Amino acid sequence: MTAPRTFRIAAVPADGVGKEVVAAGRAVLDALAEDSRGSEDAFAFAWEEFPWGCEYYERTGKMIDDDGLDRLKEFDAIYFGAVGWPTVPDHISLWGLRLKICQSFDQWANVRPVHFLPGITSPLRKADDTELDWVVVRENSEGEYAGLGGRNLSGRGQGGEVAVQSALFTEVGCERIMRFAFDLARTRTRRKVSSVTKSNAQQYGMVLWDDVFKRVAADYPDVETESVLVDAMSAKFVLRPEDLSVVVASNLNADILSDLGSALAGSLGLAASANLNPERRFPSMFEPVHGSAPDIAGQGLANPIGAVGSAALMLEHFGLADQAARLHRAIEATTAAGVLTRDVGGTASTEDVTKALIDALNA
Ligand code: NAI
Ligand code: MG
């Protein structure tokens, strides 16, 4: 018997419900691996868990150890929960951990599918009788989250301070995320890319984005395109979502649109995401779209489906497409059977849903 292929995964649950949903995702992945044992394509996961997050910051003054990135670099992937807690300012926790990993590891493509599940009521009436399925591709390395700017003139006294926050758009950054979006569109039934900007108001960076989009689109004559302003696109998400397939947008715009997308699918707790370094020079990071949800943390109420869907994206990244599909089927069987957490109208706990997912894998 050959040794199983082993994937080394760094788990970073971080804060709040991040801990609960990462535990759930790990249990589901371990059940999949266990089931493959002894078979010809057996695989296994070797986990190491890191304690970084807001509690760690309160204890040590650091969101991540000084050698943290060097240690993470050795893994095949990072499985992340959510970072943020009311005791630490959000910009410190987010920049100190999640954005630090994304930017240091050049995870420039953030893929966020908007996926409608059986048994879950969407606030969109249209979802009852229309096939809806689209994916938000978020530029994840620059744009509005480039971290450029500063605060000054506090010496003027109270009320006198100023701040500048600049967005950065590079041709390289725009072109690579657009090519990624077009390549993804070619794998889908509907070959279409919608580009989102606010280029009427933001006449430098976003007009550069539009120019690059036109240039890249010319290389994909088989893919339909449209350019839509972000305000109009948010209306379109609600009114004409059947017209969407791949939506590519800058860091901030795509962040907002993907929360809207997951709310339309039924809950923020359902949405999965992959932060990819497509060149594979660094590990990619898989995490639910939602944050640490301090309002429900520690009560067993967190919906683990966003985290489990993110685990499926990780399996795809590892080349285990069949296993990812199996996980998707288990998610659909679980929601269709009505095993639902409170955010989607049910009474099941995180643990109940996790158990149902594992049972569905083996059904
Ligand atoms: P949030 O996503 O944590 O919560 C928004 C709402 O969705 C809350 O009502 C919450 O209960 C609900 N929700 C979120 N995840 C859920 C789940 N798995 N199951 C059921 N309900 C769920 O966003 P919020 O409240 O704006 O931020 C809370 C903290 O999380 C902040 O510190 C923020 O900075 C951080 N955050 C971190 C992110 C990350 O690590 N990727 C992303 C977004 C926010
Ligand atoms: Mg967000």
pLDDT of residue 4: 86
pLDDT of residue 218: 98
pLDDT of residue 42: 94
pLDDT of residue 128: 87
pLDDT of residue 363: 81
**CA 81–ligand 1 middle distance (angstroms):** 10
**CA 97–ligand 2 middle distance (angstroms):** 15
330-342: pLDDT as tens digits: 999 999 999 999 9
109 burial type by CB count under 10 A (0-12 exposed, 13-18 middle, 19+ buried) = buried
Q: Tell me, yes or no, if the two domains 1-121+267-363 and 131-265 fold the same way.
A: yes
pLDDT of residue 3: 79
* CATH class (in words) of the domain with range 131-265: alpha beta
Is 0.75 topped by the overall pTM? Answer: yes
Which segments in the chain show pLDDT lower than 50?
A: none
H, E, C per residue of the chain: CCCCEEEEEEEEEECCHHHHHHHHHHHHHHHHHHHHCCCCCCEEEEEEECCCCHHHHHHHCCCCCCCHHHHHCCCCEEEEEECCCCCCCHHHHHHHHHHHHHHHCCCCEEEEEEECCCCCCCCCHHHHCCCCEEEEEEECCCEEEEEEEEEECHHHCCCCCEEEEEEECCHHHHHHHHHHHHHHHHCCCCCEEEEEECCCCCCCHHHHHHHHHHHHHCCCCCCEEEEEEHHHHHHHHHHCHHHCCEEEECHHHHHHHHHHHHHHHCCHHHCEEEEECCCCCCCEEEEECCCCCCCCCCCCCCCCHHHHHHHHHHHHHCCCHHHHHHHHHHHHHHHHCCCCCHHHCCCCCHHHHHHHHHHHHHC
Q: To the nearest whole percent, how much of the chain has pLDDT over 70?
A: 99
pLDDT of residue 149: 97
Q: Whose CA is nearest to atom 31 of ligand 1?
A: 84
For the chain, give every domain's residue range: 1-121+267-363, 131-265
Q: Whose CA is nearest to atom 6 of ligand 1?
A: 293
From the options 3.40.50.150, 3.40.50.1980, 3.40.50.2000, 3.40.718.10, give the CATH code of 1-121+267-363.
3.40.718.10
Closest ligand 1 atom to Cα of 20: 18
**CA 314–ligand 1 middle distance (angstroms):** 21
Which of 117, 290, 301, 351 gets mutated to test ligand 1 (max ligand atoms within 8 A of its CB)? Answer: 290
CB-ligand 1 contact for 303 (6 Å cutoff): yes
